[in-house]
Structure 1
């Protein structure tokens, strides 16, 4: 993948520098873009239609848990997403793959390991560190796989509506924010409930919020 366009979305300059070095070693003449928050990344994606690979920090500003990953997978299915994080327990790693990432790279990884991960992804493989099964809740993993498939079945607009539902917005406010008719919102909500196999919008919102639990739980552990 000579000359591929790559974006590094991370708010830590030192880790971005380490990633850039590994990318240079693995992808000759790579074009590299950087973003310090999720909204900045979305602008880069819109401005760079040739973008192929994104390295996404799990906890960067604007990215709540795995909501950013699922949004990218849903809206831009052709992009290769590599998650990076210091929260590298087995459950987080497996969840990232379940929700559509091609790899999960711990921030503690050395340049050789990062390069190995990049090479594996470029070959079309899914990459996780060795011994990644430690701490994995198998039933939770199955639930995440099911939710990932359901979210992937949503259209980008349905995904946007779901995010608004999870934020507690009513149909009228969603219609205003997304600049669509309220009747259209109602149709989207009905389709969302069917695809997520839930009976009401509260349960749909809870399904979306499941994506944010990892971030909140791990930050609480760090602070305690």
Structure 2
């Protein structure tokens, strides 16, 4: 049976490189390509028997992790691996929570990528990051939600309303975020959280 792999990547040069790597790792594979989110959805509609999706999250037609969310909501059983420069522990954790079946940093070597694609098709979850996990900050979904509201510049009362929690609880979350990110104020927390990949605009 011939495998079908869909590469969703807006940079033609990188898309060509990925296609060659996939063909080297998995000879005989039919490689489908999409340069934006609308094309990606069309390809999947035309080829419901696709075996694997390789997704760059920064493509036209999506914001943040919305594309990943939508694809996994519409095709929950389809293996999807993010191949991206967004290589932060926090971002990768969010991708996995949203249903990604793996992550491969774009900075990975050719040999590492080939091994990764082979392992993925053998059913393994593959996470290849260039970051040191020892530097990671771990946040709960509620803390991440609070962080996203802080990034919108909302006051505690409004955050409490948006998240349907008590203002005192928001104060607790904000204090905890200040401590975890080792920051003096909310603006610093938002800036650091963006740098570390907790907030993907």
Between the aligned partners of 1:29 and 1:72, the Cα distance in structure 2 is 25
Structure 1: which 5+ runs fail to align?
A: 148-198, 205-211, 217-224
| Per-residue Cα deviation, 1:68-123 (whole angstroms, up to 9, x for no partner) | 11111111112111111112111112221221111111111221111121122112
Give the superposition deviation at 1:213. Answer: 6.9
Give the conservation status (yes or no) of the 8 Å contact 1:25–1:115: yes
* Partner SS for 2:33: strand
Q: Indicate yes or no: 2:106 matched with 1:107.
A: yes
Partner of 1:8: 7
TM-score normalised by structure 2 residue count: 0.67
Partner of 1:89: 88
- Alignment size in residue pairs: 153
Structure 2 partner of 1:78: 77
Separation in 2, partners of 1:114, 1:56? 14
> TM-score, normalization: structure 1?
0.61
Contact 1:65 1:213 in 2 (8 A): no
1:143 alignment partner, one of 138, 141, 144: 141
**Structure 1 CA distance for aligned equivalents of residues 57 and 29 of structure 2:** 23
Matches within 5 A, 1:148-167: none
Q: Indicate the residue corresponding to 2:44 in structure 1.
A: 45
Q: Which has the higher helix share?
A: 1
CA distance in 2, matches of 1:101, 1:56: 10
What runs of 5+ residues in structure 2 fail to find an aligned partner? 146-159, 165-196
Mapping for residues 171-186 of structure 1, pairs under 5 Å = none
Distance in 1 separating the partners of 2:128 and 2:108: 9
> For 1:60 and 1:36, how far apart are their aligned partners in 2?
7
Deviations 1:17-50 (A, max 9, x none): 1211111122121111111100110011111111
2:105 is the counterpart of 1:120? no
- Cα 1:114–1:214 change in 2 (3 A) is farther
Kept in 2, the 8 Å contact 1:97–1:103? The answer is yes
Tell me the distance in 1 between the aligned counterparts of 2:117 and 2:15: 14
User: Which structure has the larger Rg over C-alpha atoms?
Assistant: 2
SS in 2 for 1:128: strand
